[in-house]
Structures are given as C-alpha cells and as structure tokens.
A and B are shown apart, each in its own frame.
Chain A
Amino acid sequence: MVAAEIPQQAQRGTLADFRRGLIATAPLVPGVVMFGLLYGVMARQVGLSPWEALAMSLIVHAGSAQFTALGMWASAGTWAIVLTTLAINLRHLLMGASIAPYLLGLRQRWRALLALWMADESYAVSITAYRQGTGSAAYFLGANVGIYLAWPTSGLMGALVGMALPDPTRYGLDLVFPLAFLGLLMAFIEDRKTAAVAVVAGLLAIAGSQMLSGQWHILIAGLLASLGGIALEEVERAWGRR
C-alpha cells in the first residue's frame, strides 16, 4: 500500500455513516441467508440441536469455517476442529492487515469489536468504502451489524426446517453438503497451480484417511498441499529463468 493512502487518524463517522454501512450490505444479505439456511439444515444432519446451531453462528460467525467443522463433526476431535477452523480463517489475517491502517486512533476495545464482527462480506463492503474515501468506523460497524443480523437468524431457520423433515436422505438433502463444498472448492481454483494443489490435497487426504484416525488427514493434507503451491511457484520461476 502507498504511504499516502494511509490516513493519519481514523474516521469515526456518524449515525448516517452507520446507516450507509448497514444498507450497503443489503445486496449481499440474500446470499448470506441462503448460506445460513443451508448451514442450519446441515447442522441438523450432523446432530446439532437448533440452539447449538444458533449458538455457533452467534459466537463463531464464520460461514466457511462452520461448514468445514460440520463436515468433520461426527468423526473428529475438538483439537482437529479448532485447528482446522484456525487454518480456514487464516485469510482473515490478510483482511485485518489491510483494514488496520484505517482503524488507527480508535480505542482498542472498538478495534476488537470491529475485528470480532468482521465477516468476509462486511470487510469487502467496508474496505471498498475506505479506499474510496467514504469509509469510517461507523460505516464498518453498520456493515458488520447488517451481516450479523442475517447469518444467525437464517441458520436457526435452516435448523428448524431441517428438524421438520423426518428423513432428509429421502429428499436428497444429504447431497447438500458435498454439492455446497464442490461449489466452494471450484471458486478457489483460479489457475493451474491452485488446481494442482487441489488434486494433490485430495490424493494426500485419501491416503491419509486410510492411515490416520480422526480427521487429522484433512489438516495434514491441507498444509502439505498448500506448501506445495509455493513449491510450484518456485519451480515455475526457475523454469522461466532458464
């Protein structure tokens, strides 16, 4: 980032900014709600009560990490789930680093609150506003609240719907999980290197699942294959230099 872009003092903003932030998330809410419904149905499938599903959405508030945790819920231990959550959420470090300069001068407890609520969607809306010069802490807060209202409520609704269906496999609802993950996975395949990493991770995980108990093969295959991505970049660079 160019030094001149970094503001000296954070913009606190006004109630009007809060409202603008809240409204800015509106186009993203239908996507969040669909995802939340899906999450709720899946949470029921792995045996969470609607209240447990709601509690997870309220205090974890991280869609892809929650989905991943549900995928491992029955067979993995607590540590495997927590470490996988950490790994899935590592991208938030980059998001935090990019938005942190705009939060300079805010009280630490406000910065912690904004971080606590920073969802992918509210980050995207807020960093765009900051870059355009219209961002502020109030705007960021409004965007966070907008997403935070949509995610847990839709998750609870999904869990209640899931409970009303006596035999979900009859309606093919057990397919929701693999289908949703296929879509998520494909969204991350941007080029040949990411595709190669996906293939290697899949093969390592299949081999690992035969050898390791619990769900550690997911974490180990994920770490090895992602490091392989960097190795591929290095190979490509060395190849280009010849």
Chain B
Amino acid sequence: MGTALRIAGMALATFFTRYAMIALVGREPPVLFRRWLRYVPVALLAALIAPAALSSPAGAGVHGRWLALGVGALLAWRTKQVLPSLVSGLVTFWALSIFGI
C-alpha cells in the first residue's frame, strides 16, 4: 500500500510539471525562475550523493570499492556521462576482486 501511494504521488508530481505550462498555452516562466532551474538538478544530485559517499562501504572488498568509486568519479568528470563511469567502476571492482583486494 505504501509503495502504491508513493508511486501514485510521484506520477502526479511528474504529470503536473509536464502539463502545467502546456495547459497554460505557451506562457513563458519568469526569468528568475528559469535561472534558478539551471541549478536545481545539480544541487539535488550532489545533496543525494554526498552523505551516501561518506557512509563508507563495509565488509569484503572495501578497498576495491573505494578504488572503483575513485576511477568511476574520474571518468564521470572527464566524460560527463553515466556509462563510462559505471563500466570503468565495475570493471575496476571486478579486476581487483580477482586479486582479493
């Protein structure tokens, strides 16, 4: 039940953002609002990642995990894309786990 409610709420929120301006027929949003929107995704994503990154992974392969995240971060920074970051990170982890790091 909780899951259904969450999904329904997310669906409504998404539909609202997609339809609002179309329903209002092409009215331009205020300039200040447009400027603010440029910073919303980057701020939210950084706020999501930073605390999670601090809670260090535990158990087997800890060092491999940190190295994998480091390599992934480097490629994410250089390429600005998801897949190179993901693939390089996972390959690093797998390669290191063969050596039991």
What DSSP secondary structure best describes chain B's contact surface?
helix
Query: Interface digits, B67-101 against A, CB 8 Å rule (1 contact, 0 not)?
Result: 01100110011011111111001100110010000
Nearest-neighbour CB distance to chain A for B26, whole angstroms, equals: 4
Q: Which residues of A contact B22 (CB under 8 A)?
A: 96, 99-100, 103, 111-112, 114-115
A206-B29 contact given A183-B83, A230-B36, CB 8 Å threshold? no
Complex: chain B residue closest to A102, CB-CB: B26
Contact B47 A186 (CB under 8 A): no
A residues 2-61 in Cβ contact with B at 8 Å = 6, 34-35, 38, 48, 52, 55-56, 59-61
Query: A182, B49: Cβ atoms under 8 Å?
Result: yes
Q: Is A153 an interface residue (CB 8 A)?
A: no
User: Given A169-B59, A185-B76, do A206 and B6 touch, yes or no (CB 8 Å)?
Assistant: no
Least CB distance, A242 to chain B, in whole angstroms:
21
Checking A88, A171, A200 against B41 with a beta-carbon cut-off of 8 angstroms, the contacting residue is: A88
Interface residues of A (CB under 8 A from B): 1, 6, 34-35, 38, 48, 52, 55-56, 59-62, 64-66, 68-69, 71-72, 78, 81-97, 99-101, 103-104, 108, 111-112, 114-116, 118, 169, 171-172, 174-176, 178-189, 193-194, 197-206, 209, 217-219, 221-230, 233
Other A-B pairs, 7, CB within 8 Å; known A89-B13, A108-B23: A92-B18, A111-B19, A175-B90, A179-B68, A179-B85, A186-B80, A201-B47
| Interface positions of B (Cβ within 8 A of A) | 2-3, 5-29, 32, 34-54, 57, 59, 61, 64-65, 68-69, 72-73, 76-77, 79-86, 89-90, 93-94, 97
